[in-house]
């Protein structure tokens, strides 16, 4: 039967190709197409919603797959951006400390680079903890700086850590000098504003201008010394106000060091003896 069907198909194909357009087989083909055309069209229209539904489901799953892939790519790219920016920020901070190593503000000291590993839990960011201690030569009252300026001084040590009291702590006071030839006073934190400092004990007749720079005064009278050596940058004068009847001017100072966002510091160890300062 299979052989007969194959032979019949070959005969019909050969006959169709060999006869003209008006032959009986072509006429029969046209008649069948004419008879079943409306049925085929109706069937196609009836099945169109089903085909559209199948296509929609297929495209939806494909779109979801593409969306998942795009989300994964976006997460990878975001992670790379975060990694790059973090590395870039850390590189900038380490570069500023490297410049300090090459051009130390106080050449008599031995700088020890340390990382900030703890911060005071209040908005009055008054202390930080660093990962270098007595085993690295860090002692109490050692000055602490960044590439931008003065941070504070060491108040307590363990073998591997040290606590640093920042210049914004309410117990802090730094003797300072206004450059180039300005008066000397004491830099203290401003009550109610943990990001601002005040230069106190400046007489009203002393001329202080916005933008003038402050450095540590580094004074000593032979028996008592400042806890900080001379010449470490502190900040810039933002305003100086003389109020009638007041004993001293109100001089506001913006610190150079980013006390809230710093990650690395340098502890100035060793150095010359400072009378009245332990260590």
pLDDT in tens, 73-104: 766 776 666 555 545 555 555 555 555 555 55
The pLDDT value recorded for residue 161 is 95
Residues in the chain: 279
Q: What are 148-167's pLDDT values in tens digits?
A: 899 999 999 999 999 999 99
Predicted confidence (pLDDT) per residue in 27-62, tens digit: 666 565 566 556 555 666 666 676 667 677 667 767
Q: Look at residue 17 and tell me if it is in a domain.
A: no
> What percent of the chain stands above pLDDT 70?
66
Residue 263, both tokens: 């990650």
**Residue that finishes a domain, picked among 51, 72, 103:** 103
Instruction: Say if residue 253's pLDDT is above 90.
Output: yes
Give the C-alpha distances (Å, rounded to integers) separating 114 from 15, 66, 156, 162, 177: 97, 47, 15, 9, 28
For residue 198, tell me if it sits in a domain. yes
Question: Distance between CA 258 and CA 149 in Å, rounded?
Answer: 9
**219: in domain:** yes
User: Is residue 66 in some structural domain?
Assistant: yes
What total of structural domains would you count in the chain?
2
Does residue 56 lie within any of the structural domains? Answer: yes
The distance of Cα 63 from the centroid of its chain, to the nearest Å, equals: 34
Contact 278, 109 (CB under 8 A): no
- pLDDT > 90: percent of the chain: 28
Range of the domain at 55: 43-103
pLDDT attached to residue 233: 92
At 182, which CATH number? Answer: 2.40.10.350
Give the 3-state secondary structure of the chain.
Answer: CHHHHHHHHHHHHHHHHHCCCCCHHHHHHHHHHHHHHHHHHHHHHHHHHHHHHHHHHHHHHHHHHHHHHHHHHHHHHHHHHHHHHHHHHHHHHHHHHHHHHHCCCCCCEEEEEEEEEEECCCCCCCEEEECCCHHHCCCCCCEEECCCCEEEEEEEECCCCEEEEECCCCCCCEEEEECCCCCEEEEEEECCEEEEEEEECCCCCCCCCCCCEEEECCCECCCCECCCCCCCEEEEEEEEECCCCCCCCEEEEEECCCCCCCCEEEEEEECCCCCCCCC
Let me know if residue 151 belongs to a domain. Answer: no
pLDDT score of 197 more than 70? yes
Mean pLDDT of the chain, nearest integer: 78
77: in domain: yes
Query: Does a structural domain hold residue 232?
Result: yes
């Amino acid at each position: 039967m299979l052989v007969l069907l194959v032979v019949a198909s070959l005969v019909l194909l050969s006959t169709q190709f060999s006869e003209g357009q008006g032959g009986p087989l072509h006429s029969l083909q046209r008649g069948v197409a004419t008879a079943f055309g409306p049925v085929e069209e109706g069937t196609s229209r009836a099945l169109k919603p089903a085909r559209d539904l199948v296509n929609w489901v297929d495209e939806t799953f494909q779109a979801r797959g593409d969306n998942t892939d795009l989300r994964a790519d976006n997460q990878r790219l975001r992670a790379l951006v975060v990694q790059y920016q973090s590395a870039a920020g850390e590189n900038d901070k380490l570069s500023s400390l490297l410049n300090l190593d090459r051009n130390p503000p106080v050449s008599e000291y031995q700088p020890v680079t340390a990382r900030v590993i703890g911060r005071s839990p209040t908005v009055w960011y008054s202390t930080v903890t660093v990962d270098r201690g007595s085993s690295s030569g860090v002692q109490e009252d050692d000055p602490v700086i960044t590439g931008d300026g003065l941070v504070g001084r060491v108040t307590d040590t363990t073998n591997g850590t040290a606590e640093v009291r920042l210049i914004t702590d309410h117990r802090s006071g730094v003797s300072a000098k206004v450059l180039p030839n300005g008066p000397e006073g004491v830099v203290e934190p401003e009550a109610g504003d943990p990001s601002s400092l005040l230069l106190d004990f400046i007489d009203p007749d002393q001329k202080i201008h916005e933008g003038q720079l402050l450095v540590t005064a580094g004074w000593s009278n032979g028996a008592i010394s400042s806890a900080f050596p001379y010449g470490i940058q502190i900040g810039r004068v933002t305003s100086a106000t003389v109020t009638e009847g007041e004993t001293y001017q109100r001089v506001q100072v913006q610190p150079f060091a980013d006390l809230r966002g710093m990650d690395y510091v340098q502890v100035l160890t060793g150095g010359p003896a400072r009378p009245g300062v332990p260590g």
